[in-house]
Structure 1
Amino acid sequence: MAVTIFVIVLLLYVVIGGILTRFVKNSDDFYVMGGKGSTLLIVGTLAATYLSATTLLGIAGQSYAEGPLVIAALGSFGAWLGTLLAVIYVGRKMKALGCKTMPDYFEKRFNNKWVSVVATLIMIVGLIGYGVTQFIGAGLVLSEMTNINFELLVVLFTIALIVFTAFGGMYGVVVTDTIMFFTMLAISVVIAPMIIGQAGFDQMKSLSETIPGYWTIAGAENRPLGWSISQFLVWILFFTCIPALVSRVFPAKNDFVILKTAIIGVFFAPFMQLIVFIAAGGMQVLDPNITPTDNAMVVGFMEYTPPAVAGIGLAALMASIMSTASTLFVLVGFALSRDVYEKIFEKDLDEKQRLSTARIGQVVVAVIICIISIFQPSAIYWISIYAGSIFAVGWLPTIVASFEWKRMNSKAALVSMIMGVATFILFGELIRVGVITVPEGVDELMIAICFSVGSLIVAALLTKPNSYELQYYSKMKQTSMAKQTINEFLKKPNGLAEIKKQYKQIIVTAVVVTLISVGIWGYFFIQLGLG
């Protein structure tokens, strides 16, 4: 029964994705859903993208082995803050400037071909690396269920995803993400609590007696506090500018939708995630010998829930993988077609040609990710960290400086991006082979971010922005989503009353979500004896 339910739900995703292709009439629909995204759709796609294979397999495996607090206390908290910044700070500013992709911003801000080339390459490499984690996760889940060859499953999964990414674009991804989001809620609301209930809070608390440090932020490996802090920094830095999250803002209808998404979406992300981590701790009680640890939650679904529930749970787990992977397909397809082929090579395409090149780009990327995934180059968690770090060291300093510093220019951007990525790779390899050693809690990302920021400041002080960069900086400072939305509403009958109504809804939403959060996390805090 579990396999039957699983297959039915997956086929439903693919069919819906195929149907949605009829709504794509032009490139604007394909790239940003025509700017029609409601609060429900943007919350759904944000939360669905956040909850990926990295969470349900990689980090759940870490939580199972070392204890939930190792990642949850600092790593996940950093990710939540990064997500909030991605929506409110980065995504909101870029949408106000009319960006359809993140490389759009680099082109608008600097009007420099080489800045656009380097920024786009960073995006493609980073997203391909992050996409690999989703495919490995998909293969693990399906092979665990069916005993079918891992390589064949990855190929089939690639074909299924292409159905609603290469044809539906952002329209297809956002709507299917939202449907998948409700499926994923089943894991956190029903299935994870079932596993926790079977394990029992008392038995879970007693794990610290047999596994020292299990319920501490040092974890079972007794990692130093510096390591946990470094994880906090890693996640907050790359979540702030990772395209998979920032791009969720671009289809939003208006600024009210973005603000509500920041409140509701950032609540659901940790809600769905942390309960999974606690359930992974429960699996340590129920089955302490799971290998590889990435399969902890898969074993939980298959062996500790009824068949029908297991089928729903595995379909929900697969939904989390599909939602993130489909987003990456679309974004890299955008990068290859819009940001490389159209702009860098200066191709003048009509609407039909734009759609064709975007779809071809996504198919190419899907094949590349599929091939890499088949070889399973590393553990899921560490691949995601490495890929995500590329954005932290390559993009974040340039984005923040370009938002806030009038002196920022294309030369400083190029130096910072190249220096950040180069030093990250160089020091990472030197540390791994033992050529150099660093203090506990210091890793290549911290070193590289210092080089990226330092080189940016020096280059900006030694050079000057040109007239275009100064003019665009001034224009950017005068542009905001709030102003655009207010002006849009004031054009409507009773526009002022509608604005007041929307602001009241935002305040009420914030208060309600805060109270619910305190209740939920207070309950687990007390039950697990963490107070």
Structure 2
Amino acid sequence: MDNIMIYIGVGFVFFIMIVSGIISYRQQTGLTSFYIAGRGSPWYLITGSLFASGVSGATFLGVMAWFYEFGAGTLWINVGIAWSYFILCFLIGPKLRRFAQLTVSDYLSERFDSPLLRPVFSIIVSVWMVILLGSLYVQGGLLFTELFGLSYVASTIVTVGIVVIFTVFGGMMIILNTDFVGMFILIAALVITMPFLINAADDWGNVTTEILSESPDYFTSTGELSILMAFSWFFIWLFGYLGNPGYLTRFYAAINTREIIKAGIAIALIYLPVMLLFFISAIYGRYLFPDIHDPEMLWITYTFEYAPPIVVGMAMAGLFMAVLTSATSWLLAGASSLGRDIYQKIINRDVSERRMLMVTKLMVLLLAALSVPIGIARPAYILELMNLAYLIAGSGGGLIILMSMFYRGMTRQAAWAGLIAAAVMAITGTILQFAGVLTEEIDPMIPTVLATFVIVIIVSKLGEPNEKMTSVYDQMLRKSESDQAKKHVS
């Protein structure tokens, strides 16, 4: 009987998800619709997509595990993400929308008048998307193993199959719609399980006293982390989000720049409060399960232990919704970049829209397949994989994109020098840490970002941007005529 109620709960959420997917598929009208939802997305869809993609299953599993182990210091990740949302929605997003293209590589290529930047950045994007996707497959694999008793490998492959189906059939339209619905399901999945968890524990005072007796620094500003490590996590996730096309392409989809600003205000009101609820849940979870074998299973474990079966089913389906919303976003961003920036711009410039759509969907299948071995092998904890991906994304891409929008004198040579130097330093630093040569107290992100910033400034001072570079920069400063017209109408 319990299993039946669990499956009813799962089925209810999956039904909502499938209906949303069918509606999205029917709304798709062509390549622009597949890539950026026809540039017709209002603020609430942008908000839902940023939130759902940012929370993902990594929060329910990975972040909860680090809250469990490292305490309040883990909040530096969330503070970094919150700052990235601010920069994305108020500083970067409106400028990208005024630029009005399809991919981030489009922007970099035009901004620095460098056609070669397009395929190079596209390949870099694909590498870190494969790593991110692998971490998401781990989340789906753990969930389906627990929920249906499948082997981990089978669970991972099922996850991949569902992600690919949703991405191929709906594109950006299905991502925005399911992310919006997913935002409410994710919050509900957390909130409906909390009362059962709290009810199973002692009062708050006894819970915190017990934890402090084992970990005196658990509730301090850096928790069980060193100050340097806490700041490293902050910068990894701050710059990592800024360099992630999975977020940046959302802004191409907005109706206008004002909708992006509204989305920034909305997500500022909900993101950190929800993260605090995750932290509180982890505190109670640590008290009730002090010797849990795998901390990444904490949320799943206490939900199965204390919640009624139908709530378990709804919560687990909500967790899968978290995995799906992020995986489809990253998969589409990588596939769109490969399809447009390499195939269309280099291999076949005269490709038809229909063929371009088919090629992009084939790229979805390729990236999904390349990331499967990472998901099956599970070489590290979920957040360790994501830290590595965001280190690559943020140390080069995030900083270069941010500087390109606020430093008019930045040159083509500086952009190339920054990207190459960041990639070399980030990868080298990570390898040396794994080998035990460098201390783990200082993540490679901090020295890489600082060095890249200095390199960009110095190289830019040695030359001057040409007229095309400065015209693209100036174009993003001006409000488009359509934005001004909408303002007068309202």
* TM-score, with length taken from structure 1: 0.87
Note closer, same or farther for the CA distance 1:369–1:266 as it changes in structure 2 (3 Å cut).
farther
Partner of 2:86: 84
CA distance in 2, matches of 1:96, 1:193: 46
Map of 1:390-429 to 2, 5 A cutoff? 390-429=392-431
CA distance in 2, matches of 1:305, 1:27: 44
**Which amino acid in structure 2 is aligned with residue 421 of structure 1?**
A
CA distance in 1, matches of 2:479, 2:204: 48
| CA deviation string 1:103-129 (max 9, x = no partner) | 121122123122112221221112221
User: Is the Cα–Cα contact under 8 Å of residues 18 and 163 in structure 1 kept in the other structure?
Assistant: no
| CA deviation string 1:262-301 (max 9, x = no partner) | 1112322223222012101111122222121000001121
Partner of 2:484: 486
Unpaired runs of at least 5, structure 1:
499-531
Partner of 2:311: 309
Q: What SS does structure 1 have at the residue aligned with 2:379?
A: coil
CA distance in 2, matches of 1:437, 1:195: 38
Partner of 1:444: 444
Report % sequence identity.
24
Answer yes or no: is 1:157 the counterpart of 2:155.
no
Partner of 1:37: 41
Partner of 2:469: 469
- Deviation of 1:351 (Å): 1.8
Note closer, same or farther for the CA distance 1:12–1:163 as it changes in structure 2 (3 Å cut).
farther
CA distance in 1, matches of 2:198, 2:483: 45
Note closer, same or farther for the CA distance 1:193–1:36 as it changes in structure 2 (3 Å cut).
farther
CA distance in 2, matches of 1:372, 1:330: 18
User: Is the Cα–Cα contact under 8 Å of residues 96 and 476 in structure 2 kept in the other structure?
Assistant: no
Partner of 1:284: 286
- Deviation of 1:19 (Å): 4.3
Answer yes or no: is 1:129 the counterpart of 2:128.
no
Unpaired runs of at least 5, structure 2:
none
User: Is the Cα–Cα contact under 8 Å of residues 154 and 373 in structure 1 kept in the other structure?
Assistant: yes
Greater RCO, CA 8 A, separation 6+: 2
Q: What SS does structure 1 have at the residue aligned with 2:269?
A: helix
- Count of paired positions: 484
CA distance in 2, matches of 1:61, 1:181: 21
Partner of 1:25: 29
RMSD: 1.9
User: Is the Cα–Cα contact under 8 Å of residues 93 and 260 in structure 2 kept in the other structure?
Assistant: no
**Which amino acid in structure 2 is aligned with residue 190 of structure 1?**
I
Partner of 1:521: none
**Which amino acid in structure 2 is aligned with residue 9 of structure 1?**
V
- Deviation of 1:454 (Å): 2.2
Answer yes or no: is 1:63 the counterpart of 2:70.
no
Answer yes or no: is 1:372 the counterpart of 2:374.
yes
**Which amino acid in structure 2 is aligned with residue 33 of structure 1?**
A
Note closer, same or farther for the CA distance 1:472–1:246 as it changes in structure 2 (3 Å cut).
closer
CA distance in 1, matches of 2:285, 2:255: 42
Partner of 1:169: 171
Partner of residue 253 from structure 2, selected from 244, 251, 254 = 251
- Deviation of 1:16 (Å): 3.3
Q: What SS does structure 1 have at the residue aligned with 2:61?
A: helix
- Deviation of 1:234 (Å): 1.9
Partner of residue 217 from structure 1, selected from 221, 224, 227 = 221
Map of 1:194-205 to 2, 5 A cutoff? 194-199=196-201, 200-205=203-208
**Which amino acid in structure 1 is aligned with residue 485 of structure 2?**
N
CA distance in 2, matches of 1:218, 1:204: 20
CA distance in 2, matches of 1:467, 1:328: 34
Note closer, same or farther for the CA distance 1:173–1:92 as it changes in structure 2 (3 Å cut).
same
Partner of 2:50: 46
Partner of 2:9: 5
Q: Which 4+ residue blocks in structure 1 deviate beyond 6 angstroms?
A: none
User: Is the Cα–Cα contact under 8 Å of residues 14 and 161 in structure 1 kept in the other structure?
Assistant: no
**Which amino acid in structure 2 is aligned with residue 300 of structure 1?**
Y
CA distance in 1, matches of 2:386, 2:479: 32
